[in-house]
Amino acid sequence: MGTGPTSRPPQRVVVTAGARGIGRAIAERFLEEGARVHVCDIDAEAVAAFVAAQPQAGASVADVASVADVERLFGDVAARLGGLDVLVNNAGISGPTGPVETIDPADWNRTVAVDLNGQFYCTRLAVPLLKASGRGAIVNIASNAAFFGFPLRTPYTACKWALLGLTKTLAMELGAFDIRVNAVCPGSVSGPRIEGVIEREAAARGVSAERVRESYLRQSSLRRFVDAREVAGLVAFLCSDAAASISGQAIGIDGHTENLSSWL
């Protein structure tokens, strides 16, 4: 699916924060479909483990919040892949949890640096490569928090809302070059990251982690967390020929969120 007709060469794909979690699931899905994949991650040990498991993939240790790191990343991409067809802006952090008056400005700035600035830094260097390829796709990983508010998570939620504006604007700006831009908005995805979010929210609210976990589950009509492989499947679809007319969309993959009011 992701590689398109057999006459077309394999897609060249960059996945940020691609050595762990959702990013790794996305990278592995593209590899399964025959794409040439390059990932980056801030965690050098995770990068080494990913390359050991997927020796056909390329990888760079990079912090997307650093302009210099992103420039080095795309130097690696150009050297290894010789061009680009797909950028998946997956890198993001959960940020601090607590009432807005307790948020340390340093934590706010770090969240914005990774979750918003990092996507801009990568996109600005990816676009010339995508234009040169004659067509392409960008997928920004946002969150279903971008459809609602998310009390106690102000930096994270503000960034995810901003990503929808970035996605819509880029779709308009790049459509004439046959570059499609979409946002994928997962709900709670199973894994260590959501467990950390739950623990921090439980501490902020003074309740048990199990109570918070149950409240998260009740927010979804399907009453379960999302599997990272489901997110990977949606991303691969959006970058395939089957989605050739899909651009500028914010697509939820969250089991249908009913509300985010369980914090009250």
Give the catalytic positions in this structure: 156
Q: 189: which strand partners?
A: 226
Residues 6+ apart with CB under 8 A from 55: none
CB atoms within 10 A of CB 214: 13
DSSP 226: B
The answer to whether residues 76 and 118 touch, using CB atoms and an 8 Å cutoff, is: no
* Lookup: tokens for 28: 């592995």
Q: How many CA atoms lie within 13 A of 219 on its CB side?
A: 23
145/94 Cα distance (integer angstroms): 12
d(CA 161, CA 184): 12
Q: Could you tell me which of 145, 139, 144, 89 has the C-alpha nearest to residue 254?
A: 144
